[in-house]
Amino acid sequence: MKAWFPGWFFPLIVLFSIVTVWLRLEVVDTSYAISKTEATIRTLEEERKRSELKLSSLRSPKRLEALAKGKFNLRQPNADQVVHLK
């Protein structure tokens, strides 16, 4: 009896199947890597927002004035101590 398919057909099908499974695994691994990177980006953005908020509170004029008066014993300058630049 004559074979329906040539002898190289089945090894070729097996090779294509292996390549297809390998590519699918690569897609899944890449998807996990992208998800992990997106989570890292979200975490870093939240940390940046918290840092900006903290920085703005540390630069607050009221806070700096209270710190200057309390910790460094500073006060407002007298009129004769102010030098105006042109």
Give the domain ranges of the chain: 9-62
32-70 as b/e: b if 16+ CB within 10 A: eeeeeeeeeeeeeeeeeeeeeeeeeeeeeeeeeeeeeee
- Lookup: tokens for 37: 């990177």
Q: In whole angstroms, what is the distance from residue 32 CA to residue 12 CA? A: 30
What is the SS3 assignment for 5?
coil
What is the per-residue pLDDT across 20-59, written as a single tens digit (0 to 9) for each?
Answer: 999 999 999 999 999 999 999 999 999 999 999 999 999 9
What is the per-residue pLDDT across 72-81, written as a single tens digit (0 to 9) for each?
Answer: 999 998 989 9
Global pTM exceeds 0.75:
no
8 A C-beta contact, residue 28 and residue 34: no
- Lookup: tokens for 60: 């607050």
